[in-house]
Structure 1
Amino acid sequence: MKNKYLVSIAAIVLLIAGTPFLISGDHIDAPSVTGTTSDISSFYAFEGENSNNLVLIANLQGFLPSGVPTQNAEFDEDVLVEFNIDTTGDLVEDLVIQSIKRGDTMYFFGPTVPSSTGLESEIATFATINKVAISEGTTDAEAIVSENNNMKFFAGPRDDPFFFDLNRYTAILNGEVSDFNEEGEDAYAEKNVLSIAIEIPKSMLGAASVGTNPFEPTTPVYSIWVESKRKQ
């Protein structure tokens, strides 16, 4: 019997059209998984240095302090991270790229048509398999990047690039103030995450849907989201 993985948290759906950079943030917004190894902190999608490529980055385990806590943080072998790609505009994944840790290596499967859609997944062992050694140590250590099948892969600790004035935001919600400061205070400064990064040629995703974006109905659009799924 194949192991099944059930969704524990999903980042917000993104639309990739002509926009060069899109971001979804989910720091401490999911109480059931906050502080766990399946907690997604942010998701980035943007064009690579080569504009024919798309870069997808999922960050997990946000708010890692620098030093030993970051160096000791590990990806969970029971957590599957799945990038979902909708090419038809129906918000159902047509392709997936899956990543999961085994030992000191991160394995990637896809892009491929998933065996099932929705909340449950099985590892697509029938798909193209790639891997990269997980970068360890401090976040400024040289990144280990593997390149194969025209794709690039990275997995390891990195500085959290997300910027947000959390204290001011909380004060606004509590009615203490009414707006943000002109210059905010970054709540994520000197905090780290565990990152999974993929660079993939757009050509490997096939044709995108048109008519999805009401403001640019003729512009092809990919809808992309990321999920973490825990072994059941």
Structure 2
Amino acid sequence: MTPRLTGRRGAALLASGGLLAAAGLAGLGPTTATASSHREAPMIAATPQYDTTDLYAFRSPERQSTVTLIANWLPFQEPAGGPNFYSFATDARYDIHVDNDADAKPDVTFRWTFKDHYRSKETFLYATGQVTSLTDENLNYYQTYRLVRIKGNKKKVIVPRARVAPSNVGKASMPDYQKLRDQATRTKGRVSSFTGQAEDPFFLDLRVFDLLYGGDLSETGDDTLRGFNVNSVALQVPRRMLTSGKVDDNPVVGIWSTTSKKSMGGGYRQVSRLGMPLVNEVVIPLKLKDAFNASRPTQDGAALKYVTDPELPRLIEAIYGIEAPETPRNDLVEVFLTGVKGLNQAKGKVTPSEQLRINLTTPVTERPNRLGVLEGDAQGFPNGRRLADDVIDIALQVVEGELVGSPNDLGDGVDRNDVAFGDTFPYLALPVSGSNEDPHPSSGGASSSSAESASTTGLTRRVASGGLVGMGAIAMVIGGIGLGRQRRA
């Protein structure tokens, strides 16, 4: 159950920089969000190898002078989905960009590129016997990667050639997958790198898309990404590799990932982009989704109206009768576009843009709170993003007015990942095995009655006096949003 709000939350918000200080920034640009980006746009949904699902950035808890960057691709990997299992595209550039002077342009880029290798094409098997190491001849198909850091016009090879951890075919083929993960994790000096398959770390009830949890909250509390894998890159580097000078002088950086696909003419075209979680998936309307994936942060001002008058609160009001906060939503701008003053806003002039911003001097939290800054944990989301941060609950509460005098405890009833994360780099859980006969069991939160579901999410407590408004109201809301109306402005 999502905890109730107390006076501690308001104090924590003020202590960590004043999240209410967004007033006066309404003309700057987008955007707000409620989670991540799996199949978020029509074109990228058809090409999952290029689809960025999540981006994470946090100070490394066991090596606090370093920062860890993680990005995931290729969502909804069925563990037993052979014989052609899951690989990175060989005609793509997978990038993580860092803006360290707040101009919404990349100052440092980490780029991964991949190559395929086959031992034999006279078999249909991915593994022709037990695979006991990454170099085992029984691993019939494998990938290698090259990692380069780009800073200005200079390129530096960080990893010239390394093996990618394979898909976890099953225990008959890979009896000790942990050993393969360990061999795929490389450390040289203060830089560590991992690339390979992992269990999808994002946790939520995806039935939000079924008219927001079934229309009566009967569809909450089940981690619907349970048992699916993703392809991940993880990189741990000294903080100074990201900043423009001394870390203490310029500690705030903005981060986003992109995927660029090689075109027929030999150049590369950007087809996916992800910074803050679930911007494209929930905030951007269908007509702009593909364009957003191809855009740059400097172009984000074009989507302003979808932030200041967001669709999600209207849908919640239409379905459950919870009054949406007044618009324009100036409270959302600082959190998602410029960073929060005193927390993760860069010094000097800031070009508003959608990036995952992190203050690299924020101390590592000894006892992390899944609700991050909302519960006084200044290292949590939206100050970077850790694997265990519950971005769905955080974003739902913010979009429903947590920062503008409407305290709430909204949530989807899924408070943590279905499997534990690691304590050391690369932190990601091992991928679900293909030999698992039931990789997607229910988390137990889905109930047969709305009375039962009332125990799984704070949303029900706000609905008790409102009830379901009906499909006609939903249609009116969607129509109103399409016309770009401002609510009670």
Q: Could you state the TM-score of these two structures normalised by the residue count of structure 2?
A: 0.36
Post-superposition CA distance 1:113-135 (Å, at most 9, x none): 144xxxxxxxx7x4234142111
Structure whose residues are more often strand by fraction: 1
Residue 229 (str. 1) matches residue 260 (str. 2) = yes
Structure 2 portions without partners, runs of 5+:
1-15, 18-33, 117-142, 170-175, 264-489
The number of residues matched between the two structures is 192
Partner of 1:163: helix, strand, or coil? coil
Structure 2 distance, partners of 1:71, 1:146, is 26
How has the CA–CA distance of structure 1 residues 68 and 170 changed in structure 2, closer, same or farther, with 3 Å as cutoff?
Answer: closer
Q: Deviations over 1:168-197 (max 9, x none)?
A: x1233498237974xx11110000001111
The aligned counterpart of 2:447 is none
Match in the other structure for 1:157: 197
Structure (1/2) with the larger helix percentage: 2
Displacement after TM superposition at 1:203 (Å): 1.6
Q: Does 1:170 align with 2:209?
A: yes
Q: Does 1:27 align with 2:38?
A: yes
Counterpart for residue 86 of structure 1: 99
1:155-175 deviations in whole A, cap 9, x for unaligned?
1111101011011x1233498
How many angstroms does 1:24 deviate by? 6.2
Q: CA deviation at 1:148?
A: 2.5
Q: 1:198 to 1:164 in 2, by over 3 A?
A: same
8 A contact 2:243–2:250 mirrored in 1: no
Change (3 A) 1:24 1:105: farther
CA spacing shift, 1:158–1:166, aligned 2, 3 Å:
same
Structure with the bigger RCO (C-alpha within 8 Å, sep 6+) is 1
Alignment gaps of 5+ in structure 1: 1-16, 116-123, 211-217
Q: Label 1:172 to 1:76 Cα distance change in 2 as closer, same or farther (>3 A).
A: same
| Aligned counterparts of 2:112 and 2:226: Cα–Cα separation in 1 | 27
Cα deviations by residue, 1:23-65 (Å, 9 ceiling, x for unpaired): 9621111221114210111111111121111111111110001
The residue matched to 2:45 in structure 1 has which SS?
coil
Aligned with 1:223: secondary structure?
strand
Rate the CA distance shift 1:197–1:174 in 2: closer, same or farther, 3 A: closer
CA RMSD of aligned residues (A): 3.1
Q: CA distance change for structure 1 residues 100 and 71 in 2, over 3 Å: closer, same or farther?
A: same
Q: CA deviation at 1:221?
A: 1.0
Q: How many angstroms apart in 2 are the aligned matches of 1:155 and 1:70?
A: 21
Structure 1's 225 and 40: CA in aligned 2 closer, same or farther, altered over 3 A?
same
For 2:157, the equivalent position in structure 1 comes to: 128
* Alignment of 1:65 onto 2:78: yes
Structure 1 length normalisation: TM-score?
Answer: 0.72
Percent identity (aligned): 25
Q: What is the SS of the residue equivalent to 1:138?
A: coil
Q: How does 1:1-232 map to 2 (within 5 A)?
A: 25-36=36-47, 37-48=49-60, 49-69=62-82, 72-103=85-116, 104-110=143-149, 112-115=150-153, 126-130=155-159, 131-138=161-168, 141-142=177-178, 143=181, 144-167=184-207, 169-173=208-212, 176-177=215-216, 181=220, 184-207=221-244, 220-232=251-263
- Distance in 1, Cα, partners of 2:83 & 2:35: 22
